[in-house]
């Protein structure tokens, strides 16, 4: 995909997303999406939870917190995220460099629709999530009135294979996640799900 090899595209996207008035206008015009929901979810993050944020982009959800691990495949995005955090990892979402059951929470905002195999990415995120931990994110979906624009961006190499909201639920269920909640705003679906089991105390965990 172009996000790793096209630094100008990545930079322009990040500038737009980081600018709140511009992102609000663009999200509504392009996707009929109220991006306020995303900002509220980010603001509600638990700073004590050991969190993996991938793709972190330029650091929209990042806080200067050593328990927030920001990861992305794009070196350009990581350079931009460096302004907000010291815990950065260049990583492939399909093959994360972390042991199984590492994180209390995994975040994947606005990234799944850029992937060729979103289902595989969700399975890998579930692998590194602790039992009892939470997976949370947002993704564009097909079947919500913006399919022609999605197809155009697929043709240009900016998007991978986004599914419908029903596909997203199936992918989460297949990853053996439970307590699934989907919330739709325009062509964007926010989701939360939990990995079954008992969560360990986040205070005793660390990422090397």
Domains in the chain: boundaries: 2-197
| 2-197 fold | Rossmann fold (3.40.50)
pLDDT value for 5: 53
pLDDT value for 75: 84
CA dist., res. 100 & res. 77, Å (int): 25
pLDDT value for 15: 72
Q: What is the per-residue pLDDT across 182-197, written as a single tens digit (0 to 9) for each?
A: 999 999 999 999 999 8
Ranges of residues in the chain with a pLDDT under 50 are 1, 201-206, 208
**Largest Cα–Cα separation, the chain:** 48
CA dist., res. 45 & res. 51, Å (int): 9
């Amino acid at each position: 995909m172009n996000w790793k090899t096209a630094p100008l595209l990545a930079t322009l996207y990040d500038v737009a997303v980081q600018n709140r008035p511009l992102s609000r206008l663009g999200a509504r015009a392009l996707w009929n999406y109220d991006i306020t929901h995303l900002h509220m979810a980010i603001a509600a993050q638990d700073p004590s939870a050991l969190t993996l944020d991938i793709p972190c982009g330029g650091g929209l959800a990042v806080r200067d917190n050593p328990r927030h691990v920001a990861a992305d495949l794009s070196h350009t995005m990581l350079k931009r995220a460096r302004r907000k955090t010291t815990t950065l990892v260049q990583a492939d979402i399909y093959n994360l460099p972390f042991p199984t059951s590492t994180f209390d929470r995994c975040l994947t905002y606005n990234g799944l629709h850029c992937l060729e195999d979103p289902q595989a990415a969700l399975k890998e995120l579930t692998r590194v999530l602790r039992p009892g931990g939470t997976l949370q994110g947002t993704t564009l979906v097909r079947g919500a009135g913006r399919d022609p624009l999605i197809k155009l961006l697929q043709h240009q190499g900016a998007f991978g294979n986004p599914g419908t909201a029903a596909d997203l639920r199936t992918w989460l269920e297949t990853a053996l996640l439970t307590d699934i909640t989907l919330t739709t705003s325009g062509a964007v679906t926010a989701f939360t799900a939990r990995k079954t089991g008992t969560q360990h105390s986040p205070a005793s965990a660390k990422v090397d």
